Amino acid sequence: MEPEGTDTNEMYLNGFSSSMPWEIQLEAIHKISALRDAKIYRPGYAIEYDYFDPTQLKHSLESKIIEGLFFAGQVNGTTGYEEAGGQGTVAGINAALLCSGNEPFIMNRDESYIGVLIDDLTTKGVDEPYRMFTSRAEYRILLRQDDADARLTERAYNIGIAKRDRYDWWIQKEKNINRILNFCDNTVVKPNIVNSFLDRIGSAPIKGSMKITDLVARPQVNFKNLSEVIPSLKEAIEASPNRIEEISEAAEIKMKYKGYIDRERVFAEKMHRLEDIKIKGHFNYSELHDLSTECRQKLEHVQPETLAQASRIPGVSPSDINVLLVLMGR
């Protein structure tokens, strides 16, 4: 926008919808009193595109209607390079698996952000261009940067998209992470060894012997500063043959956030149990009058495969899930 008679007060417009025809953009801007005389010299624009309803897809991204046809990317109602790339990878893998007569490769919501993305698309559908925000994932503590290999390397190796050396790297890393965790869990330190260090870093002194694991859980304590006063911890960390920093970071995170990680894992396992309860084809939803009308319509439309999928459909409440559980005899 450029106010009349000057070219020095040029402004870029942010946080204001610029997808309407430019006459409408101008009219809307003039409704803001400070901008009532503003002129536009270059209007904003929006990209329009069509998409197919992604609830018509299986989690493998294969069409439920046409066997062997896979969809990925913007055509599924997403926007963004990463969303398109992630889906393209999964659709490609599954097309290859289908051709070779293998089971589909599906990532769960607690295994990867791609798993969350595809589950959202195929069970909830989209009513506006979909972007993958971290806030869409309920298991963010399990989907960390430091543990992508723990979640996926073995699965990738099993379907032939990770080579043997990468798998071996991971196995070796896991062994060393566990070795450090065991060391910390089985080694106790006495007050006279650590109390002056704890005092220096502003952490409460210990009264009796304490496991290294419990000390590391304290916010001020980390492997680096603690290993300065406990040489055997330093030795345990440095005993990893390679990738020492990466391995010690992974072990430290597991120790520090154990409570949170365990709690989320329990919740994820509970959802997995619902995942095992297949409901597709079991019900004629329109006849289930114990369900809310909205729930009936949504289930009718989406036809979820499992009870867990049904629970994630907006409009399906926990009490609806209980009704279905009872009807399934559980």
Site string for ligand FAD, 34-73 (x = CB under 6 A): -------------x-------------------------x
Upper half-sphere CA count for residue 232 (Cβ side, 13 Å)? 8
For position 79 contacting ligand FAD by CB under 6 A, the verdict is: yes
Phi, psi of 57 (to 5 degrees): -105, 155
Binding segment (CB under 6 A) for ligand FAD, from list 78-86, 107-115, 185-193, 227-235: 78-86
316 closest CA partner among 302, 328, 330: 302
Tokens 């896991």 sit on residue: 174
CB of 54 to ligand FAD, least distance (A): 12
Question: Which residue's structure tokens are 């400070």?
Answer: 34
Give whichever of 84 and 217 is closer to ligand FAD, judged by the CB atom.
Answer: 84
Q: In terms of Cα–Cα distance, which of 128, 117, 132, 120 is closest to 17?
A: 128
In whole angstroms, the minimum distance from the beta carbon of 124 to ligand FAD comes to 19
Smallest separation (angstroms) from ligand FAD to the CB of 97: 21
Q: Which is nearer to ligand FAD, 22 or 260 (CB)?
A: 22
Among 84, 95, 126, 323, binds ligand FAD (CB under 6 A): 84
Helices (H), the chain: 22-30, 81-99, 113-119, 148-158, 164-186, 191-200, 212-216, 223-229, 231-238, 244-256, 258-275, 293-302, 307-311, 318-327
Beta-carbon-side half-sphere exposure of residue 85 (alpha carbons within 13 Å): 5
The residue within the footprint of ligand FAD, chosen from 12, 41, 81, 133 (CB under 6 A), is 81
Give the residue at shortest CB distance from ligand FAD: 73
Minimum separation from the CB atom of position 92 to ligand FAD (A): 12
18 in contact with ligand FAD (CB under 6 A): no
Pair 216, 193: CB distance under 8 Å: no
**Shortest CB 161 distance to ligand FAD, Å:** 20
Query: CB-based burial of residue 175 (10 Å sphere; 0-12 exposed, 13-18 middle, 19+ buried)?
Result: exposed
Smaller CB separation from ligand FAD, 71 or 197:
71
In the complex, the smallest distance separating the C-beta of residue 122 from ligand FAD, rounded to whole angstroms, is: 16
Structure tokens at 324: 């279905």
Q: Closest CB to ligand FAD among 92 and 191? A: 92
The binding track of 301-330 with respect to ligand FAD, each residue x by CB under 6 A or -, is: ------------------------------
Report the distance separating Cα 321 and Cα 162, nearest Å: 38
Q: What angle do CA 103, 108, 114 make, to 5 degrees?
A: 100
Q: Which is nearer to ligand FAD, 22 or 45 (CB)?
A: 45
Which one among 18, 56, 63, 74 touches ligand FAD, defined by CB under 6 A? Answer: 74
CA distance 295 to 111: 28
Query: Rule CB under 6 A: which residues touch ligand FAD?
Result: 47, 73-74, 79-81, 84
